[in-house]
Structure 1
Amino acid sequence: MVTLVAATTVDPASIGLGLPFWPCPGMLSFANEEVRLLKLENHLAREDHLDKRWEGATGESVDGAIFLSRHVAASNRPALTIHPIGPPHLREDEVLLAGGRPGWAGPPKALEQHCRVTLEATHHGPEISSPAMFIEIGSTEEYWERQDAAQAIALLVWEGLGLGGGNSVGDWSRKDDRPKVLLGIGGGHYVPRHMDIVRLQSKGVAGMWRKVINIAFETSRLAFPGGEVLAHLDLESFKTWRRKAVTEFLESEEIKIGKPGDFY
């Protein structure tokens, strides 16, 4: 099983993030232990089924994918962001703005100053079967090409995948103590209250009315087979009637609701 790390030439932040992994300039691909770095020429949000295409071309099974990308925000605030993939909030008849498939979310990939470090709610493609995430530099061209930001994220990926000689992060298939997995509901694009819990105590974090929650819950269970998925509600982002509706739905689906203290 291999993990794909994908960069693209059409995105200056993506290539900047990929450079620390290449041993010399001009090299188009790189293999290190069970990690494969790919240099692509398309927008990453359009690289549907990259895992299956890699398996078909090489015979290597893919157990996860990390997409290296730029981040754009109206605030222009410097940021390093991580989010799972998929637009589960879209109906099947709605137009896709950035890849994926309406009403679908991929299983999240487990990993974990001047720049704000934050999670984002899941919101775009590509469509991919393997656990995956986007890691991004934001939010303007000035920062997309910053090598210090690229080096910081490259080190995160390097250590997280176990390339530095230590254990890799995110193998939930062998968990015996049922650690908690946070399923964030509500809170806006940057999910600040969910992020507060992640900052205080590192736990498995999964993605973001009825169909959307079910999709997020099922993909989270697939991604964290040894973990206990608990829904975490950003209560301040809901009106009372909405909070009641979401809570009743979670109870009807037997999805447990976690309080902040449950994740510490």
Structure 2
Amino acid sequence: MAEVGKVPASDMELADSSETKAADDVAATDKVEVTPVTVTITDTVVESSKSTDCKELQQLVPHTVASLSEVDVASPTSEKAPKISESSTPIKSLKNADFRVTVTTRKMVTLIVATTSDPASINPAAALLAMPGWIAGPILPPDIKSFSNKQTRVIQHDRSIVKEDDLDLRWEEATGEVIDEVIFLSRHTAVSNRPALTVHPIGVLHLKDGESPPQGGKPGWAALPNPRIGPWFRLLKKMAEAHGLVPEFEITLEATHHGPITNKPTMFLEIGSTEEYWKRDDAAQVMALLMWEGLGLGGGEAVGNWNSETGKRKVLLGIGGGHYAPRHMDIVLKDDIWVGHLLSGYSLPMEDPTQTKTTPVENYIGGNWRQSIKAAFEATKAAFPGGEILAHLDHKSFKGWQKKAITEFLAEESINVGKPNDFT
């Protein structure tokens, strides 16, 4: 949270407000003398604490100044408006202000989570920590070790990777830092036992209230998908090829599944699919390099930072298909494609109207598929502010009645559908 304190507001404009008698007799565009005020701006994060003038502040936190300049903050309860203390004079504009401010900052950091109980988790973490620049960090209660390097934090616990909930919030509470994203390292299992390196978002969107998720999370929940999923998947494929892991290892996306519960953009990086491959040092090293380069820890530019103001803004929301999302993956392999949630067929439970024992309601398809789609869309939209979310359907995976029901629901929810060429 950033605080703008004791502003000499001689050139500020008062906003119309029933709570401010001084504004009752003054037009909003009239300049008046007012007493110094304190404005608290929430959800603003910058990189350093300093006193600065207005122009410097605008360069330091331009979104903050823009919000104060362009949003009428006369109503302290407005969702978009910065919160103003009860004793403060509401401000409509800071454009003509001449003042100095003090910005109180909280660092934004990436949280990488590993567990010592899983070689496919702790080995990539150990390989990353063997690279330059790491120092020991605080202990996260009760006994979780941490390490720090620039804006990245690695924590190690000894429990199930899918069951340790709210680690992002727990880190924030313990350290005062703000978690920007969470990256989990884990093993991957598959019936085929084929070696694989995978990337995927998490959530258990299709479960009903009261059902117990077998691998963490909570019914109906979808984590915010980490915007790096698409760019890192493409980077992982290039790295794996360069280090000779392909074709032995399959490099693939996975559909959204399992926990743990998180509150910030999240993704899993996994090594599969048997103990022999979970322990492979070359696979662990590639995953470590992915994080090292992807987060810019080696001095290069980080990969996969979302910015709706530059570059392509289209985000794929995958609907249908198998667990490894082959038709969605064909699109994601193209440069500049962003990825949100990927819903496989098992996350879209639909009741066949011809098989229901009760009299079916006309045109109504039962099951939790609507809940899954809506939760996936809302989480993806929140993870990509300003993005254009396009649902991409694996048409061949649906029966006619299923495809009809889904496309009609998407239209009802104003969720746009994209064909492969729409993402180029």
Contact 1:21 1:37 in 2 (8 A): no
In structure 2, which of residues 298, 301, 312 is the aligned counterpart of residue 167 of structure 1?
Answer: 301
Higher relative contact order (CA 8 A, sep 6+): 1
Q: TM-score, normalised by structure 2?
A: 0.60
Equivalent position of 1:54 in the other structure: 171
Separation in 2, partners of 1:60, 1:234: 41
Q: What do the CA deviations read for 1:94-153 (whole angstroms, capped 9, x no partner)?
A: 121011111000011122112101111111000110000110000000000111111111
Equivalent position of 1:214 in the other structure: 374
Equivalent position of 2:115 in the other structure: 8
SS at match of 2:303: coil
In structure 1, which of residues 97, 101, 105 is the aligned counterpart of residue 222 of structure 2?
Answer: 105
What is the CA-CA distance between 1:260 and the residue it aligns to?
0.5
In structure 1, which of residues 204, 223, 229 is the aligned counterpart of residue 383 of structure 2?
Answer: 223
Q: What do the CA deviations read for 1:43-68 (whole angstroms, capped 9, x no partner)?
A: 11011100000011111110100000
SS at match of 1:91: coil
In structure 2, which of residues 251, 264, 267 is the aligned counterpart of residue 133 of structure 1?
Answer: 267
Equivalent position of 1:179 in the other structure: 313
What is the CA-CA distance between 1:200 and the residue it aligns to?
3.0
Counterparts of 1:1-264 in structure 2 under 5 Å? 1-23=108-130, 28-111=145-228, 112=232, 113=246, 114-176=248-310, 179-207=313-341, 208=343, 209-264=369-424
Contact 2:128 2:289 in 1 (8 A): no
User: Aligned AA for 2:214?
Assistant: L
SS at match of 2:162: helix
SS at match of 1:206: strand
Fraction of identical pairs, as percent: 57
Contact 2:195 2:250 in 1 (8 A): yes
User: Aligned AA for 2:304?
Assistant: G
User: Taking structure 1 as reference, are residues 129 and 20 closer, same or farther at Cα in structure 2, changes over 3 Å only?
Assistant: same
| Segment of structure 1 superposing worse, 157-166 or 174-183 | 174-183
User: Aligned AA for 1:16?
Assistant: N
User: Aligned AA for 2:118?
Assistant: D
Separation in 2, partners of 1:175, 1:73: 39
Q: How many residues align?
A: 264
SS at match of 2:373: helix
SS at match of 1:46: coil
User: Taking structure 1 as reference, are residues 187 and 135 closer, same or farther at Cα in structure 2, changes over 3 Å only?
Assistant: same
Contact 2:308 2:387 in 1 (8 A): no
Separation in 2, partners of 1:11, 1:177: 38
Structure with the higher helix share, 1 or 2: 1
Runs (5+) with no aligned partner, structure 1: none
Separation in 2, partners of 1:176, 1:72: 38
Contact 1:229 1:256 in 2 (8 A): yes
User: Aligned AA for 2:374?
Assistant: N
User: Aligned AA for 2:122?
Assistant: I
User: Taking structure 1 as reference, are residues 49 and 93 closer, same or farther at Cα in structure 2, changes over 3 Å only?
Assistant: same
User: Taking structure 1 as reference, are residues 174 and 227 closer, same or farther at Cα in structure 2, changes over 3 Å only?
Assistant: closer
Q: Greater Rg, structure 1 or structure 2?
A: 2
Separation in 1, partners of 2:149, 2:223: 25
Separation in 2, partners of 1:7, 1:104: 22
Contact 2:212 2:218 in 1 (8 A): no
What is the CA-CA distance between 1:174 and the residue it aligns to?
4.7
Contact 1:109 1:133 in 2 (8 A): yes
Contact 1:91 1:103 in 2 (8 A): yes
User: Taking structure 1 as reference, are residues 161 and 137 closer, same or farther at Cα in structure 2, changes over 3 Å only?
Assistant: same
What is the CA-CA distance between 1:22 and the residue it aligns to?
1.5
| Segment of structure 1 superposing worse, 155-164 or 254-263 | 155-164
Contact 1:78 1:140 in 2 (8 A): yes
User: Aligned AA for 2:395?
Assistant: L
